[in-house]
């Protein structure tokens, strides 16, 4: 289990996070929702080691973990897919999947080994790409998002964080990505999904955590919660 405990973070005059806590279990999709500026991205950045918290921190299996930079986070099995995909459009799918983690033999790239694992990985996630040797620039938005998510799995992580993975996608491609998220859950990964789209959230998540003005503002089991109760927690109407 990976958890964030009592995390606070202040940017100048803005208290972006105030004593926020969050638990993430293997095989569970947790949706993190909240209005613009609620602190979702900031919380993700703390977990992913991009920014350091003012107080509080991340614990892994109950042990406090020192996560000072993104590299530490990766070492602890935390993998993040950012909103801007961070793919190299000029490189092909294989090159993007293994970027920075190239398999090598005597400092030469092992093209065949990487392509084999890339195909296996994409097949296991049921991601369909006709020719994985073409530059990523030639793929559709949904395919690119799928590549970005598949890439997060290369280092065998235990937690995958997705920041608005469906924001720029059409209906069909969104469905593809949601399927992909379900498959991550089947693999036993913990998934943290940030989304503004409550329909998507209700479709894939097991649990919904609401942030409001930098504080925990409610937590629901998706199966039991109504759309209205979640919206109320987001806007603070019920309080």
Partner 1 sequence: MNAATVTRKPYTPKEAVERLRHGDLGAWPVVGALVAIAVVFGTLNEHFLSPENLTNLALQMAATGTISLGIIMVLLLGEIDLSAGSVSGLCAVVMAILSVRQGWNPILAIVVALAAGALVGLLHGVMFTRLRMPSFVVTLAGLIGWQGLLLYLLGEGGIVNLPFDGFVAKLSDTWLPSWLAWTIVALLVLASGGSSLVNRRLRLAAELPVPPVWWAAVKIGGLTVVLAGAVLVMSADRGVPLLLVIFGTLVVAFDLVLRHTAFGRWMYAVGGNVEAARRAGISVTRIRVLAFVLSSTLAAFGGILSASRLSAVNQGSGGSDILLMAIAAAVIGGTSLFGGRGRTYAALLGILVIQSITNGMFLLSVDSSVRYMVTAAVLALAVAIDSLARRGSTT
Ligand X SMILES: Nc1ncnc2c1ncn2[C@@H]1O[C@H](COP(=O)(O)OP(=O)(O)OP(=O)(O)O)[C@@H](O)[C@H]1O
Interface residues with partner 1 (CB under 8 A) are 70-71, 74, 82, 84-91, 95, 99-102, 104, 107-109, 111-113, 115-116, 119, 131, 134-135, 137-138
- Check binding of 176 to Mg ion (CB under 5 A): no
Which 3 state secondary structure label does DSSP give 239? coil
Q: Specify the residue for token string 């961070």.
A: 86
- How many helices and strands in the chain, by DSSP H and E? 8, 12
Kindly tell me which residue out of 17, 30, 31, 41 binds Mg ion, with binding defined by CB under 5 A.
Answer: 41
Burial tier of 193 (Cβ tally within 10 Å: 0-12, 13-18, 19+):
buried
Site string for ligand X, 42-71 (x = CB under 6 A): x-----------------------------
Q: Which of residues 16-35 bind ligand X (CB under 6 A)?
A: 16, 34
Stretch that binds ligand X, among 8-16, 64-72, 154-162, 169-177 (CB under 6 A): 8-16
Alpha helices in 86-225 (DSSP H): 93-97, 111-124, 141-152, 171-186, 198-204
Q: Which residues bind ligand X (CB under 6 A)?
A: 11, 14, 16, 34, 36-42
């Amino acid at each position: 289990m990976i958890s964030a405990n009592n995390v606070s973070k202040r940017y100048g005059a803005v208290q972006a996070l105030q004593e926020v806590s969050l638990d993430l279990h293997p095989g569970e999709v947790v949706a993190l929702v909240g209005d613009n500026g609620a602190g979702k991205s900031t919380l993700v950045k703390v977990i992913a080691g991009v920014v350091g918290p003012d107080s509080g921190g991340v614990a892994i299996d109950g042990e406090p973990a020192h996560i000072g930079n993104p590299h530490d986070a990766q070492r602890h099995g935390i993998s993040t897919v950012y909103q801007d995909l961070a793919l190299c459009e000029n490189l092909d799918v294989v090159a993007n999947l293994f970027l920075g983690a190239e398999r090598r033999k005597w400092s030469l790239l092992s093209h065949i080994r990487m392509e084999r694992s890339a195909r296996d990985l994409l097949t296991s996630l049921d991601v369909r790409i006709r020719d994985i040797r073409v530059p990523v620039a030639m793929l559709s938005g949904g395919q690119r998002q799928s590549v970005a998510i598949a890439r997060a799995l290369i280092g065998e992580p235990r937690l995958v964080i997705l920041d608005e993975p469906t924001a720029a996608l059409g209906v069909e491609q969104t469905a593809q990505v949601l399927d992909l998220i379900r498959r991550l859950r089947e693999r036993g990964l913990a998934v943290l999904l940030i989304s503004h789209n409550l329909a998507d959230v209700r479709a894939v998540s097991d649990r919904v955590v609401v942030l409001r003005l930098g504080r925990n503002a409610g937590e629901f089991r998706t199966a039991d919660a109504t759309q209205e109760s979640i919206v109320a927690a987001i806007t603070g109407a019920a309080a």
